Amino acid sequence: MMTACSRGKGTQTSQAAPTPTAVVVSTLRPQTVPIYSEYVGETEAVNVVEIHSQVQGFLQQIAFKEGSIVQKGQLLFVIDPRPYQATLQEAKATLEVQQETVNNAQKIVDRYTPLTQQHAVSQQQLDSAVATAKENQAQVESAQAQVAAAQLNVNYTRISAPMTGSIGTSQVKVGDLIQSGSTLLDTIYSISPMYVTFAISQSDYLSYTNRRRQQPKQAHPIQLILGDRSVYGHSGTVDMVAPTVSTTTGTLSIRATFPNPEGVLKPGLFARVRFVARDAVNALLVPQGAIQQLQGTQSVFVVGSDNKVQQRTVTTGATVANLEIVSSGLQPGDRVVVEGVQKVQPGMTVQAQEGPALTVPTAEEGEAGSKMPTSPLPSPASSAKGSATMMPKEN
């Protein structure tokens, strides 16, 4: 009897139902998703000033540290001023002589004037004295101009920064003979703001301008993705749009302005310019990992109300933040398997647990500080300036 009872318990255990496989699902909800476009751009300084001397002479001093930030008005170079100081002293001496001559001529005019009224001096003598005084005054003015020019040349021997910016390596050494107007001493690059130029496709340009026209009160920032794939901490704005489309590439040249208070951006950097080209309305988002690829066909697993798994063929559009926009094959409210995809098969009964909602940041929220899954930036040698690459994948 005990044996029979034991056999009966074993039969009941073998007939117990298996535990359903646990999966995580996400219920699809329509949402508006910003679709980004991305292009390769290059940074450039707003102002670039080449430093030249306006006088000739031997370089006496370099008064700055190469590669540093110089302030407007800061002394940069000193050219030997002694020849120009000597010329200045000579001009001043000539001016003093001319002024004394004028004073003497004016005294004669002052003495002749009452004598002419008394007929002690002829009118012709007075007129001659007045003419001499005027001629001497003209010589004084000429001498004053010579003094001003000589003083200007002395001032030109001290070359100061015309603006605040980053200065490069000095192109001359102390003792070099500097030629007026032709010898390049150094170059200063402005720091903030910084330009970024890039070439954009016609379709993206039209989409971007239409979006700005339809949403005039919203910000339409331009993001910059640096060489380490981080998003630059300051957004930019469109500064200039080329008046014509390139007949060779079919693209339009755009220039954006970015603040650069920390001096992170340097002229000549290659970076990716990223902006919202359009908004996908009522979009359904699915994680890339939930999509199965088989012989060019895409599919996902959907859990029905009876907790049974169905396989749906889908068509995807743009990729946004590792999420695919599904353009066909799914409906709002469908529960898509997002975790445990490899453990399920069509017709299987599962235990579904709702996962976090699938959302992407809005265009206004941005993604400052995030890492973007972009391909490495091209080097100047391997990429032509203004070549474009699209981030979204669209059918």
User: What are residue 253's DSSP bridge partners?
Assistant: 199
Return the percentage of the chain with pLDDT > 70, whole number. 86
- What is the reported pLDDT for 125? 79
Residues 143-172 have pLDDT tens digits of: 889 999 999 999 999 999 999 999 999 999
Return the percentage of the chain with pLDDT > 90, whole number. 52
What is the three-class DSSP state of 347?
coil
- What is the reported pLDDT for 154? 96
- What is the reported pLDDT for 339? 92
pTM for this predicted structure:
0.67
- What is the reported pLDDT for 143? 84
Residues 105-123 have pLDDT tens digits of: 778 778 777 877 877 777 8
Domains and CATH numbers, the chain: 22-45+192-354 (2.40.420.20), 51-78+160-189 (2.40.50.100), 81-156 (1.10.287.470)
What is the full DSSP assignment across 195-242?
EEEEEEEHHHHHHHHHHHHH-TTS---BEEE-TTSBBPSS-BEEEEE-
**CA dihedral over 78, 82, 86, 92, signed as positive or negative:** positive
Q: Give the type of residue at 389.
A: T
For 234-254, give one letter per residue: b (16+ CB within 10 A) or e.
Answer: bbbeebeeeeebeeeeebbbb
- What is the reported pLDDT for 17? 64
Which parts of the chain register pLDDT below 70? 1-17, 361-395
- What is the reported pLDDT for 133? 75
